[in-house]
Amino acid sequence: MSGEVLSVLRENLSEKDFKILAAIENEKVHLFVADAIQLCEPEKVWVSTDSPRDIEHSRQEAIRLGEEIPLNIPGHTVHFDGMEDQGRDREVTRYLVPAGDKLSPALNQIERETGLKEVRNLLKGAMKGRTMIVRFLTLGPANSIFSIPCLECTDSYYVSHSLNLLYRPGYEEFKRLGSRARFLATLHSAGELDQRMVSAQPDKKRIYIDYSTDTVYSVNTQYAGNTVGLKKLALRLTIRRADEEGWLAEHMFLMGVTGPNKRKTYLAGAFPSACGKTSTAMLPGETILGDDIAYFRAIEGKCRAANAEAGIFGIIQNVNAKDDPTIWKVLTSPGEVIFSNVLVKDGRPYWLGMGVEVPEEGENFSGKWFRGKKDAQGKEIPLAHKNARYTVSLKKLENCDPALDDPQGVELAGIIYGGRDARAWFPCQQSFNWDHGIVAYGACLETETTYAIIGQEGVQEINLMSIQDFVSIPLGKYVRNNLEFGKKLTQPPVVFAVNYFLRDGSGKFVNAVQDKHVWIKWMERRLHGELRARRTPTGYIPCLEDLQFLFREVLNKEYTPQDYRNQFTLRVPENLAKLERAEKFHRQHVEDAPPEVFQILEEQRYRLQEAARKFGERAAPECFPLDTE
């Protein structure tokens, strides 16, 4: 430890905390903490270990300081973010790009020295009168090929409490690795707070990612997606590391699907926010390994996958007892849960779509709330925010997969891409091969913007692999890395696509909420070669008789030929238009797009045009041949 760093740490840390930090023999750790202290000027510094006492301390301090409010059910608390801090903020989330380097124009960025100066000026003195909390955690299982050590300094005990639930403890891992720890670092300050302990200067909110030093800076915000550095902010950094080392960091859930004779098959899925990602990962009777971020490694010719996280930061809107029994039980039983931006009345939380009678007044993210209350623009404020969340440890779920912390990960059999598409995509389909799936389903994934992102809702856009906002390398290179990854595998995962939001001519959804379970069960059987399919221009689709069997088996529901035609009639013009939008996006926004992208799209265009010539613009599923692959 250098003299200057030693002096800063000894001056600002208690003897106990200094010893805890000094036990990690890593100069870069000491330097980062010392720099954070000098920059943010906290009143004191607390260094957390993995001890149960320290873990509980974060929760108790969050309550004592008013960042969280206890609810009636033991262990449950609520946190409120400000009116203008209710989601990931694209506009103020930027990459710091060094001179001479460049990222794809689709990515939000700023010249590194300019951005670094701006965000550090905002952080200067930001922790005066408060405690800096120093946390050590790991992404991925500890002591594993998937492990990435992480360090976060924050002045929010709500953030520290969230870290307890969402990630694996890492203090002992840092001690074990010592100087070998190549870690990701986050420096966060909530900034000036109002009387409700809410960030009071949202106009000065900044979330900057310095990929040249593996560091995230976040200031004047509390929303966990902007402040818990190990979530999407770290994903941006792990994507670069994966690119460097030849593996994949993905915005995907991981789940185990049960087949005949208690067989378990692991699937991953990439869905933009509010498109059914967590509800798919949480299907009753299946097991959940993760709901947000997964790492893929090619090991001995097989794709092995692990959850980067150990908890869920999930959207709570529409979670109800009927459709989401597993998570509903957790949210209504004693145990550690953080609710955010819901309505609270008499110590009970309420959210949109929960399926119960709700109060006419209470407290929510706007303060005291009553039905009809309007914001500064005259727009009515809902009882809870559409992007209200719950935070919980995965191990609190009855269906948590036992392989969650397996250092070897699990063998991945299939990958699902799902968007929000009212017009074109089938409810489910299977790609012809790895390259076709990665391009036609992943790289061309299209959805509508939702309330999880600040800005206009309902705008149709390409969200490449549901990871576009987080890609910190050229987008074309990212697509290339996915294509090349498949070549490392003796049998790549089979790629599927789902769409829970297809509508008929009257605007009615053709999927019922629970139908997704049938699509997942169909995939599991296909992966083991047990079901036939029909070959359409865009992929393989289920056969009627198999769906009739699966709907009875899974949902105890009759499935008719008319249901089949409503869901699986090929809409040729809509699919051609979708393809045109995807191609335009790749030509305009994806630098160095692999030529395979345009070749695969052209082949799909030809197949669609041939289908229209033979069967018309609305081709019933029975038009297409059976394929036993």
- In tens, the pLDDT along 130-145 reads 999 999 999 999 999 9
- Residue of 92 and 323 predicted with greater confidence: 92
Q: Residue range 2-6: average pLDDT?
A: 83
Residue 400 confidence class, pLDDT cut points 50, 70, 90: very high
Residue 73 falls inside a structural domain: no
Q: What is the CATH number of the domain that holds 571?
A: 3.90.228.20
Task: Say how many C-beta atoms besides its own lie within 10 A of residue 587's C-beta.
Answer: 11
Residue 356 falls inside a structural domain: yes
In this predicted structure, what is the pLDDT of residue 1?
59
- Rounded to whole angstroms, the Cα distance separating 520 from 290 reads 16
Residue 384 near residue 350 (C-beta atoms within 8 A): yes
pLDDT for residue 458 is more than 70 = no
Is residue 294 located within the same domain as residue 364?
Answer: no
pLDDT for residue 629 is more than 70 = no
Q: What is the CATH number of the domain that holds 120?
A: 3.40.449.10
Q: Residue range 363-385: average pLDDT?
A: 95
Residue 629 falls inside a structural domain: no
- Rounded to whole angstroms, the Cα distance separating 284 from 620 reads 32
Show which of 203, 225, 245 is a domain's final residue.
245
Least confident of 65-79, 192-206, 518-532: 192-206
* Beta pairing partners, 153: 134, 187
Span 41-50, pLDDT tens digits:
999 999 999 9
Is residue 365 located within the same domain as residue 434?
Answer: no
Q: Which residues of 215-241 are buried (b: 16+ CB within 10 A; e: fewer)?
A: bbbbbbbbbbbbbbbbbbbbbbbbbbb
Residue 75 falls inside a structural domain: no
Residue 79 falls inside a structural domain: no
Residue 91 confidence class, pLDDT cut points 50, 70, 90: confident
Show which of 340, 375, 396 is a domain's final residue.
396
Span 591-602, pLDDT tens digits:
889 999 999 999
- Identify the active-site residue in 40, 150, 153, 275: 275
Angle at 224 between CA 226 and CA 513, to 5 degrees: 110
- Rounded to whole angstroms, the Cα distance separating 13 from 163 reads 22
pLDDT for residue 14 is more than 60 = yes
In this predicted structure, what is the pLDDT of residue 21?
97
Is residue 281 located within the same domain as residue 235?
Answer: no
Q: What is the CATH number of the domain that holds 375?
A: 2.170.8.10
In this predicted structure, what is the pLDDT of residue 460?
80
Residue 81 falls inside a structural domain: no
pLDDT for residue 88 is more than 50 = yes
Q: Residue range 402-422: average pLDDT?
A: 96
* Beta pairing partners, 410: 305
pLDDT for residue 287 is more than 80 = yes
Q: Residue range 309-327: average pLDDT?
A: 90
Residue 149 falls inside a structural domain: yes
Is residue 59 located within the same domain as residue 135?
Answer: yes
Is residue 364 located within the same domain as residue 440?
Answer: no
Residue 28 confidence class, pLDDT cut points 50, 70, 90: very high
Is residue 124 located within the same domain as residue 7?
Answer: yes
Is residue 522 located within the same domain as residue 421?
Answer: yes
Is residue 466 located within the same domain as residue 524?
Answer: yes
Tally of domains in the chain:
3
pLDDT for residue 267 is more than 50 = yes
Is residue 491 located within the same domain as residue 348?
Answer: no
Q: Residue range 562-567: average pLDDT?
A: 97
In this predicted structure, what is the pLDDT of residue 258?
97
pLDDT for residue 210 is more than 70 = yes
Q: Residue range 201-206: average pLDDT?
A: 94
Report the chain's mean pLDDT, rounded to a whole number.
94
Q: Residue range 384-410: average pLDDT?
A: 96
Least confident of 16-25, 219-228, 269-278: 269-278
Cα distance between the two ends of the chain: 61
In the numeric block, the tokens 């300019």 are attached to 114
What residues make up the domain containing 521?
A: 249-310+404-624
Is residue 351 located within the same domain as residue 241?
Answer: no
Share of the chain above pLDDT 70, in %: 98
Residue 628 confidence class, pLDDT cut points 50, 70, 90: low
DSSP string, 169-223: E-HHHHHHHGGG---EEEEEE--SB-TTS-BS-GGG-EEEEETTTTEEEEES---
Residue 77 falls inside a structural domain: no
- Rounded to whole angstroms, the Cα distance separating 418 from 295 reads 19
Q: Residue range 66-79: average pLDDT?
A: 98
**CA quadruple 452, 457, 458, 461: dihedral, nearest 10:** -70
In this predicted structure, what is the pLDDT of residue 85?
81
- Rounded to whole angstroms, the Cα distance separating 602 from 608 reads 10
Q: Residue range 413-425: average pLDDT?
A: 94
Helices marked H in 252-306: 277-281
Show which of 227, 245, 263 is a domain's final residue.
245
pLDDT for residue 454 is more than 50 = no
- Rounded to whole angstroms, the Cα distance separating 70 from 304 reads 40
Task: Say how many C-beta atoms besides its own lie within 10 A of residue 409's C-beta.
Answer: 26
**CA quadruple 572, 578, 584, 586: dihedral, nearest 10:** -120
Look up 153 and say whether it is catalytic: no
Is residue 418 located within the same domain as residue 438?
Answer: yes
CA atoms lying within 13 Å on the CB side of residue 339: 32
- Rounded to whole angstroms, the Cα distance separating 282 from 298 reads 26
In this predicted structure, what is the pLDDT of residue 452?
45
Q: Residue range 150-168: average pLDDT?
A: 97
Is residue 100 located within the same domain as residue 137?
Answer: yes
Q: Residue range 542-565: average pLDDT?
A: 97
Helices marked H in 23-156: 27-40, 52-64, 112-123
